[in-house]
Structure 1
Amino acid sequence: MKVVLQVALGILAAIGGFVDIGELVFNGQAGSRFGYGLVWAILVGLGGAMVFSEMSGRVAAVSQRAVFDLIRERMGLSVGLVALGAGEVVCLMTLTAELGGVVIVLRLLSGLPYGLLLPVAGLGMVVVILTLPFDWLERLFGYAGLGLVAFVVAALKLHPDWHQLARGALPSFDLAQPGLYLYFVVGVIATTVSPYEVYFYSSGGVEDGWTPKDLWLNRVTAFFGFGVGALLSIAILVVSAEVLRPLGIQPQHLGSTAMTLGTLGPVGLLAGLGGILFAVGGAALETSLSGAYSLSQFVGWPWGKYLGPRKAPRFNVVWIVFLALAMLVLATGVDPVAVTEYAVIFAAVAMPLTYAPVLLVANDRSYMGRHANGRLANVMGGVYLVIILVAAVLAVPLLILTNAGQG
């Protein structure tokens, strides 16, 4: 039973990393525009998430230090500041989108005004993070978020063309809309390999007290957790392709993606909305804590949920400030989906600043000893670093060229 509960970190990381508002928006739009044609991009993102999360978890278990705790020491102050600045901006943008997603789902469930639900959602997050220990946060959001399995049930009920779905797992290219296709390729990959995912995963390993004896658990959580996330991601794309594409509907709102679960009836729709609420809420939790983890680790402040507010006051102030800033941005009336699209693209730009240091530290035997990367890990890490660099270079030009995916 203890091992089963420990795997919750991987499941929470998968739900927050694969199935957050960015994933729901980009996979929903990708399915409605290109059918099954971008399944392969989800699988590419899955591989990258597995490779770098396993590395960051291994670094945390062996060194007892999280990613940003090592970046400044290993990369120097200047590079570290650039990585920190980019990471914090992406965390804040992503948190704003995720918190907006929470409010949208609460509005769908209750019918209450957006302006009333925004402070409820923000203050609710503060209360939950302050009162629940880290392991209970994992369990609550990780397992409740599995209500997203409703998308898998809906996908099976819609009887997709399995041959076409299998073809979608093979890399392809849309010559009719090359710019738009590449934009969604970059977006789908970036949603699955977002930097905050690694910040939270490695810091969570330290919070859970991982040691070299837990390396097997790191592999299980990274591979199983993100595997679950990929299955849910593909299901969202399939449901969108089957329900929205024949109608020519491009989902511009989170509610459009959620309503595709109407094929399951009221109970299935309610289960799916509950899953979305906890998945997006879990991602909001991750991004707020990730911003505080990164800054605290970089400047050397005491950090971690396990220390409590009295022993780590500045850490707690930072994540509360992050939530407050996100609430202020949302109070202006900005569209959370628009924020999501920009957050995902800027996450793509910031990816090399996170993953290159992870690869370097995981190779450094002065930190890792005999647990440093082997040949296979280095080959996979190198391949994915090239993919990440290409995505980072293409992200902003494609954003401009396609008018943020509008064509």
Structure 2
Amino acid sequence: MKLGKYLNIGPATMVAAAFIGPGTVVTASLAGASFGYALLWALLFAIVASMILQEMTARLGVVTQQGLGENIRETFHQPLPRALAVLLVVSAIVIGNAAYQSGNIAGASMGLEALTSAVGRDSLTFNPWPLVIAAIAFFLLWRGEYRLIEGSLVALVLLMSLAFLATLVITKPDLPALLKGLLLPSIPSGATLTTVALIGTTVVPYNLFLHSSSAGKKWQHPDLLPQARRDIYFSIPLGGLISIAIVSTAASAFFGRQIVLSGAGDIAASLQPLFGGGAQYFMGIGLFAAGISSALTAPLAAAYALSGILGLKSDMKSLGFRLVWFTILAIGTLVATLDMRPVQLIWFAQIANGLLLPIVTIFLLWEMNSSRLGGYRNSRLQNLLGVAVLLVTLLLGGRSLMSAFGWL
């Protein structure tokens, strides 16, 4: 927390904590294991795109002192457009977050199992670890103290960074191949959905709602926007570096080998015979931190988004706000406790996010050109960058749909 205070970071670190979850670990690991370093460019694009969009959301939150949900509600006054906007937000945020949450809790549980080996998943029909993770998340969210949650997430992101980067060093990546994958875009045969999923796991629609609301809480005056931007330029690349480390670890450890990864828990276990216990334990620590940090941010983001779009109080201790995050947390805990193997659910949520991202981006660009922002509206360059991100996500999303229906 001292580091966070010194750098004046927080809201963007929450964004990084949100997109580095077990879904990211699964998606990035499968990308590296299946296609080596070839899709790293997609992560680089996603990092840049995320910084462009998150800067807009932070500016919106600081200038208007309202989240994206509240701003959308104020823009659409007619019943039908407002109803459509509410429907899109609910589908993009609540349904997606409920799917994510089961993976977040299960992933954190797998991390603990990799560290302790105290519970044999194959011998038990009931897995107790999700209840432990859910209890920690419930305690922090119920306290309703923004600074406590922010400080916890800053610490978890730093822990993730150390764990995944240490794992990368142990697995000794091929640096020339890594640089080629970062700088030379290509989509190998069968990699379209994985490409969309990698972008969907980094540029997450619900983060646009989370960031705008949390930035408005931390910085109450437009003069403080430079601090909000420094937060973004530190935290988002750090989160992207973690994702790149996971892809590269999987590429160096699993690409070209006859090892099947069916879930996040398999990743840590598979590293032990290849690189020893050190890699396994670092991956377990990273997976635990990724899961519990996302288990905090997913319900929080859903509560901010729904409170804003429905006109409810966004006070973290209000009944409506708590009811939303508790519902998301309860659904995720139930699915994870029943051990329903949510890997396919996570994968679907990543792809769905990649497809829903253009819709939320359109809402954001609309709001960033609103007269309510005055002199803080998007410049021509910012609009061009936003439209460029929108067009790329539309192109990739359309290609993934065509691939899914066999039209490619």
- Do they fold alike, i.e. is TM over 0.5? yes
Distance in 1 between residues matched to 2:48 and 2:290, nearest whole Å: 21
Which residue of 170, 179, 189 corresponds with 1:166? Answer: 179
Which residue of 319, 322, 325 corresponds with 2:328? Answer: 322
What is the deviation of 1:237?
A: 0.9
Measured at CA, do residues 270 and 135 of structure 1 come closer, stay the same or move farther in structure 2, by a change above 3 Å? farther
SS for the counterpart of 2:288 is helix
Q: TM-score, normalised by structure 2?
A: 0.89
Structure 2 residue 65 is matched with structure 1 residue 64: yes
CA contact (8 A) 2:39 2:187 kept: no
- Matched residue type, 1:168: G
Residue of structure 1 equivalent to 2:297? 286
Deviation digits for residues 39-60 of structure 1 (CA, Å, limit 9, x no counterpart): 1000111111111111000000
Residue of structure 2 equivalent to 1:405? none
Measured at CA, do residues 400 and 28 of structure 1 come closer, stay the same or move farther in structure 2, by a change above 3 Å? farther
Give 1:123-202 correspondences, 5 Å limit. Answer: 123-131=135-143, 133-148=145-160, 149-174=162-187, 177=189, 180-202=190-212
Identity of aligned residues (%): 24
CA contact (8 A) 2:140 2:148 kept: no
Distance in 2 between residues matched to 1:22 and 1:342, nearest whole Å: 10
- Matched residue type, 1:127: F
Give 1:213-292 correspondences, 5 Å limit. Answer: 213-259=223-269, 262=272, 266=277, 269-292=280-303
SS for the counterpart of 2:227 is helix
CA contact (8 A) 1:146 1:275 kept: no
What is the deviation of 1:157?
A: 4.0
What is the deviation of 1:101?
A: 1.4
CA contact (8 A) 2:57 2:212 kept: yes
CA contact (8 A) 2:134 2:333 kept: yes
CA RMSD of aligned residues (A): 2.3
Residue of structure 1 equivalent to 2:131? 119
Deviation digits for residues 271-300 of structure 1 (CA, Å, limit 9, x no counterpart): 442232122211121111111111111121
Which residue of 2, 9, 23 corresponds with 1:7? Answer: 9
Distance in 2 between residues matched to 1:275 and 1:211, nearest whole Å: 36
Deviation digits for residues 331-389 of structure 1 (CA, Å, limit 9, x no counterpart): 4432121111011111122212211111111122x211111111221111010011122
Residue of structure 1 equivalent to 2:309? 298
Deviation digits for residues 309-334 of structure 1 (CA, Å, limit 9, x no counterpart): xxx11111111122112223334432
Measured at CA, do residues 260 and 63 of structure 1 come closer, stay the same or move farther in structure 2, by a change above 3 Å? farther
Distance in 2 between residues matched to 1:250 and 1:132, nearest whole Å: 42
What is the deviation of 1:203?
A: 1.5
SS for the counterpart of 1:115 is coil
Measured at CA, do residues 260 and 62 of structure 1 come closer, stay the same or move farther in structure 2, by a change above 3 Å? farther
- Matched residue type, 1:280: G
Distance in 1 between residues matched to 2:328 and 2:210, nearest whole Å: 15
Distance in 2 between residues matched to 1:266 and 1:147, nearest whole Å: 18
What is the deviation of 1:61?
A: 0.3
Distance in 2 between residues matched to 1:174 and 1:378, nearest whole Å: 27
Deviates further, 110-119 or 201-210: 110-119
Distance in 1 between residues matched to 2:9 and 2:114, nearest whole Å: 31
- Matched residue type, 2:381: L
Deviates further, 239-248 or 264-273: 264-273
- Matched residue type, 2:182: A
Distance in 2 between residues matched to 1:133 and 1:359, nearest whole Å: 31
Deviation digits for residues 143-182 of structure 1 (CA, Å, limit 9, x no counterpart): 233223232233234433322221111344355x2xx211
Residue of structure 1 equivalent to 2:99? 93
Structure 2 residue 340 is matched with structure 1 residue 347: no
Distance in 1 between residues matched to 2:5 and 2:220, nearest whole Å: 13
Measured at CA, do residues 398 and 96 of structure 1 come closer, stay the same or move farther in structure 2, by a change above 3 Å? farther
Q: TM-score, normalised by structure 1?
A: 0.89
CA contact (8 A) 1:190 1:348 kept: yes
Deviation digits for residues 99-139 of structure 1 (CA, Å, limit 9, x no counterpart): 22122223333323552222232233211211262122122
SS for the counterpart of 1:303 is coil
Structure 2 residue 358 is matched with structure 1 residue 357: no
What is the deviation of 1:209?
A: 4.0
Distance in 2 between residues matched to 1:250 and 1:400, nearest whole Å: 26
Deviates further, 141-150 or 54-63: 141-150
Q: Which structure is higher in helix share?
A: 1
SS for the counterpart of 1:169 is helix
For structure 1, list consecutive stretches of 5 or more residues without a partner in the other structure: 403-407
- Matched residue type, 1:156: V
CA contact (8 A) 1:45 1:189 kept: yes
Distance in 1 between residues matched to 2:315 and 2:7, nearest whole Å: 20
Deviation digits for residues 7-63 of structure 1 (CA, Å, limit 9, x no counterpart): 13322321322x211211111011111111011000111111111111000000000
Distance in 1 between residues matched to 2:105 and 2:324, nearest whole Å: 16
CA contact (8 A) 2:54 2:208 kept: yes
For structure 2, list consecutive stretches of 5 or more residues without a partner in the other structure: none
